[in-house]
């Protein structure tokens, strides 16, 4: 029997589920306990197919729009947040609904309202079409918020009143990418109002910081997450910028192309904020089957944040 080739596996900490994702999944589970199946969920509760399929097996039905839900069953709004029109329609139909919007996304919604009340023109840094961006822009009347995706967009932006501007950011962006856009905004509009606290969430920042530490010298970094997960896609970009020779986004161990490991002595491994830990263990086990693995944990932060469940489920 051939001896297994040695492989150093650098495991990022923190990785995987954040407090907002934990809370959202718990909301679906507790709703099923309280009201029984089926419970409807508008949009994927979090961007991970494995999570969605497990909840479907418990009795959750995922839909894209509220008109796909019957009036007499509870509906849950995803962690990404929804436009104001969605709960308004649910109330009009006398539906039971539970809002699983991450509290850090809700904070951005509150900031948007505050700026609007102060008659400020609002710029949102984010990705067009992302559910969180749709939800945030949908907090205010159409045309009130301008989406900025790139530094080039900043140059092309012409506000109605450059002296009365504010900016917000999608929570799951790359800290480094956002910094460039923020710098461009502040250079063009020195008086622009900034968020009270960093809008990019602690979990996104922490996962990126861990990747920055484990990536240098790694022949390959694997990021477990969905292609629709903004924070997971960003982790791949962060790994490459931080010095990884290669970085790949995978949904699970089944997606690994083992030719990626040719010549790789050090592997970095992390997971996006909506990826469950069992997928991480699946990749570790698959590596152990093929290599003589030495584990190293790269820990850059302790996460102690938790979010309470909505009152309707807390009792």
CB hemisphere CA count around 93 (13 angstroms) = 19
pLDDT of residue 228: 87
Structural domain containing residue 195: 103-200
- Same domain flag for 109 and 178: yes
Short-list 100, 301, 103, CA closest to 205: 301
Q: Which two structure tokens, joined as six digits, stand for 26?
A: 């718990």
Q: Phi-psi category of 243—alpha, beta or left, where left has phi over 0 and alpha has psi -120 to 50?
A: left
**Residue 290 Cα to chain centre, angstroms:** 32
Average pLDDT over residues 88-97: 96
Confidence label for 68 from pLDDT (cuts 50, 70 and 90): very high
- Mention every residue, 6+ apart, whose C-beta is less than 8 A from residue 259: none
Q: Which of 169, 200, 231 is the last residue of a domain?
A: 200
From the number of C-beta atoms within 10 Å of its C-beta (0-12, 13-18, 19+), residue 127 rates as: middle
Please report whether residue 312 resides in a domain. no
Average pLDDT over residues 6-23: 96
- Same domain flag for 185 and 211: no
Render pLDDT for 235-259 as a digit per residue (tens, 0 to 9).
999 999 999 999 999 999 999 999 9
CATH number, domain with residue 267: 3.40.1010.20
Confidence label for 32 from pLDDT (cuts 50, 70 and 90): very high
Short-list 74, 70, 43, CA closest to 310: 74
- Same domain flag for 195 and 152: yes
What whole-number distance in Å separates Cα of residue 250 and Cα of residue 267? 14
From the number of C-beta atoms within 10 Å of its C-beta (0-12, 13-18, 19+), residue 303 rates as: middle
Q: Residue 23: pLDDT above 80?
A: yes
Q: Residue 281: pLDDT above 70?
A: yes
Q: Residue 195: pLDDT above 90?
A: no
- Same domain flag for 281 and 295: yes
Q: Residue 174: pLDDT above 80?
A: no
pLDDT of residue 3: 85
Rounded to two decimals, the pTM is 0.91
Average pLDDT over residues 3-19: 95
- Same domain flag for 156 and 123: yes
Q: Residue 275: pLDDT above 80?
A: yes
Look at 229 and 31; give whichever has higher pLDDT: 31
DSSP state of 245: S
Q: Which of 102, 130, 147 is the last residue of a domain?
A: 102
Render pLDDT for 98-130 as a digit per residue (tens, 0 to 9).
999 999 999 999 999 999 999 999 999 999 999
Number of structural domains in the chain: 3
**Average pLDDT score, the chain:** 94
pLDDT of residue 81: 94
Confidence label for 59 from pLDDT (cuts 50, 70 and 90): very high
What whole-number distance in Å separates Cα of residue 116 and Cα of residue 113? 5
pLDDT of residue 7: 98
Candidates 44, 111, 121, 132; catalytic one: 132
DSSP state of 126: S
Q: Residue 8: pLDDT above 90?
A: yes
DSSP state of 193: B
Render pLDDT for 292-307 as a digit per residue (tens, 0 to 9).
999 999 999 999 989 9
Confidence label for 200 from pLDDT (cuts 50, 70 and 90): confident
Render pLDDT for 42-55 as a digit per residue (tens, 0 to 9).
998 888 999 999 99
Please report whether residue 314 resides in a domain. no
- 65 catalytically annotated: no
CATH number, domain with residue 61: 3.40.50.11270
User: Which residues partner with 268 through β-bridges?
Assistant: 10, 221
Q: Residue 196: pLDDT above 80?
A: no
Short-list 177, 231, 254, CA closest to 15: 231
């Amino acid at each position: 029997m051939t001896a297994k080739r040695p492989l150093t596996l650098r495991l990022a900490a923190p990785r995987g589920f954040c407090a907002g994702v934990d809370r959202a999944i718990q909301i679906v589970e507790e709703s099923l306990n309280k009201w029984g199946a089926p419970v409807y969920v508008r949009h994927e509760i979090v961007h991970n197919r494995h999570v969605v399929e497990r909840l479907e097996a418990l009795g959750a039905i995922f839909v894209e729009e509220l008109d796909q839900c019957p009036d007499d069953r509870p509906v849950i709004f995803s962690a990404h947040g929804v436009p104001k029109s969605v709960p308004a329609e649910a109330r009009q139909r006398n539906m039971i609904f539970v809002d699983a919007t991450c509290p850090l996304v809700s904070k951005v919604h509150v900031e948007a309202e505050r700026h609007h009340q102060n008659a400020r023109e609002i710029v949102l840094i984010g990705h067009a079409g992302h559910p969180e961006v749709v939800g945030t822009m949908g907090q205010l009347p159409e045309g009130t918020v301008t989406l900025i995706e790139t530094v080039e967009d900043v140059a092309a932006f012409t506000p109605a009143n450059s002296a009365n501007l504010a900016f917000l950011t999608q929570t799951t962006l790359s800290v480094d990418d956002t910094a460039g856009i923020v710098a461009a905004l502040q250079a063009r509009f020195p008086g622009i109002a900034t968020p009270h606290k960093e809008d990019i969430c602690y979990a996104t920042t922490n996962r990126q910081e861990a990747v920055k530490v484990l990536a240098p010298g790694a022949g390959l970094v694997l990021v477990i997450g969905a292609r629709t997960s903004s924070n997971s896609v960003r982790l791949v970009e962060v790994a490459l910028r931080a010095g990884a020779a290669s970085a790949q986004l995978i949904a699970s161990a089944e997606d690994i192309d083992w030719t990626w490991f040719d010549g790789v002595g050090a592997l970095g491994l992390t997971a996006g904020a909506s990826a469950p830990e069992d997928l991480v263990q699946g990749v570790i086990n698959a590596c152990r089957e093929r290599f003589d693995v030495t584990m190293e944990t790269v820990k850059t932060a302790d996460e102690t944040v938790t979010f309470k469940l909505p009152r309707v489920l807390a009792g």
